[in-house]
């Protein structure tokens, strides 16, 4: 069993299944995103508090990292090519930075048999409401624990269950003052067919 | 030699090396992006004229296509999950939709020996000035002819010279009224080390 809440009851926060949260993270603080049960994706956005038009950019980050799979020591860049977060610890080593957060349209187009759900896109937008982030401005998120292997020969990819086991985590350090939005992902394929919580902790 | 300008002098437009252009494309019209000399990338953006907050989304498009390599019959989606463009013909079959347009920061971070250049990002922003598109809003472009093979095992990718030969082209049909911004790319690695023009034609 995962015991983080027992050992640090005052600092570990819980995001219930298929929901999201947003909070501030100051320069130098660390954010630990924990998969308490295993096999659960968490979509993460980072936005500069100094100017909320500056936010995480998958395209800049991948360009500078020269890999689609990011892990420890990789930096996550903004649309202005500034570092927002650095990955400082990672017990999983497989995350996605290609795909947009699941949304009502995702469920309409990809999950015919699902009842519509606002998805991570809707959850991120709702959580960011206090900062007035426009829904259209929400970019590709860094999808912690999301497992999207790509066939290099054909380009085709699959969305498989996460490789994360109970208690696995990824830890980031903020390079500047940020707003963080984080979800427990709502898409069946991304999460091995079941919806679980995500835990997180801000320290420093 | 490429003879498009000779045979269709009134419809083929020329984008000089390391520059960009923007123009309107109406629903049902086709846009042909031509590599007249071969080995040259063209970054393409599409923005909905009805509401310029709606624009091309790499993350939505890849999610729905289930491949990172798009070609004939693939649709390019907006951040609102609407189809903006469909690829209706493609003589090359290798384009990139992972990386952001090269920018002043790209040249600063990736090309130490280069003099700074505003890159495709700056050229797209300048070309879009009549429509008031904010620089921060420019997303990952669809990079016609850009050759970015990914190693599926490690995730690492390389930016190699385009596979396009002189006269190769990719043709799109607009699904709605659009603003198109298009460049002749400015980054050495993307273009085999030399900077060439891009031609385009709007028809229908």
The half-sphere exposure of B144 on its side-chain side, counting CA atoms within 13 A, is: 32
The reply to whether A63 touches chain B by the CB within 8 Å rule is yes
Domain ranges of chain A: 13-202
Residue B112, both tokens: 């130490």
Candidates B63, B108, B150; nearest CB to A150: B150
Cβ–Cβ below 8 Å for A154 and B67: yes
A97 contact residues in B (CB cutoff 8 A):
none
Q: Is B53 on the interface with A (CB under 8 A)?
A: yes
Which ipTM was obtained for this model? 0.92
The answer to whether the CB atoms of A98 and B98 lie below 8 A apart is yes
In this complex, the residue of A63, A81, A153 whose CB is nearest that of residue B99 is: A63
Task: Identify which of A67, A105, A151 has the shortest CB distance to residue B155.
Answer: A67
B154 touches chain A (CB under 8 A): yes
Q: Which of A56, A61, A11 is nearest to A31 (CA)?
A: A11
Nearest-CA residue of chain B relative to A67?
B156
Q: Which of B54, B60, B67 sits opposite A100 (nearest CB)?
A: B60
Query: Token pair for residue A79?
Result: 């649309």
Which of chain B's residues have a Cβ under 8 Å away from the Cβ of A58?
A: 58-59, 98, 140
Cα–Cα distance between A58 and A36 in angstroms, integer?
Answer: 26
Does residue A88 have a pLDDT over 80? Answer: yes
Q: How many Cβ atoms sit within 10 Å of the Cβ of residue A178?
A: 27
Question: What pLDDT score does B21 carry?
Answer: 98
* Minimal C-alpha gap between B199 and chain A (Å): 25
pLDDT tens for each residue of chain B, 204 residues long? 444 444 444 589 999 999 999 999 999 999 999 999 999 999 999 999 999 999 999 999 999 999 999 999 999 999 999 999 999 999 999 999 999 999 988 888 887 666 778 999 999 999 999 999 999 999 999 999 999 999 999 999 999 999 999 999 999 999 999 999 999 999 999 999 999 999 999 999
Mean confidence (pLDDT) of chain A? 93
Separation of alpha carbons B114 and A85, rounded Å:
27
Backbone CA torsion sign across B64, B69, B70, B72: negative
Q: How far apart are CA A140 and CA B63, in angstroms?
A: 11
Cβ contact B58–A110 (<8 Å): no
pLDDT (tens digit per residue) in A117-150 = 899 999 999 999 999 999 999 999 999 999 999 9
Task: Give which of A79, A101, A108, A121 to mutate to test B binding, by max B Cβ within 10 Å.
Answer: A79
- For A41-60, what is each residue's pLDDT tens digit? 999 999 999 999 999 999 99
Nearest residue on chain B to A79, alpha-carbon basis? B136
CB B140 within 8 A of CB A58: yes
């Amino acid at each position: 069993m995962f015991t983080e809440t027992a050992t640090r009851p005052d600092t570990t926060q819980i995001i219930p299944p298929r929901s999201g949260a947003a909070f501030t993270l100051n320069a130098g603080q660390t954010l630990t995103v924990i998969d308490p049960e295993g096999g659960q994706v968490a979509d993460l956005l980072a936005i500069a508090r100094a100017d909320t038009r500056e936010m995480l950019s998958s395209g800049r980050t991948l360009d500078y990292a020269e890999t689609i799979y990011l892990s420890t020591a990789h930096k996550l860049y903004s649309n202005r090519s500034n570092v927002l977060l650095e990955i400082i610890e990672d017990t999983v080593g497989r995350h996605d930075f290609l795909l947009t957060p699941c949304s009502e349209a995702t469920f309409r187009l990809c999950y015919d048999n699902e009842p519509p759900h606002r998805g991570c896109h809707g959850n991120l937008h709702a959580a960011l409401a206090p900062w007035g982030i426009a829904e259209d401005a929400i970019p590709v998120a860094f999808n912690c624990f999301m497992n999207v292997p790509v066939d290099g020969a054909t380009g085709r990819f699959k969305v498989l269950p996460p490789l994360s086991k109970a208690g696995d985590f990824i830890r980031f350090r903020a390079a500047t003052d940020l707003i963080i939005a984080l979800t427990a992902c709502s898409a069946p394929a991304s999460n091995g067919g079941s919806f679980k919580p995500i835990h997180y902790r801000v320290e420093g």
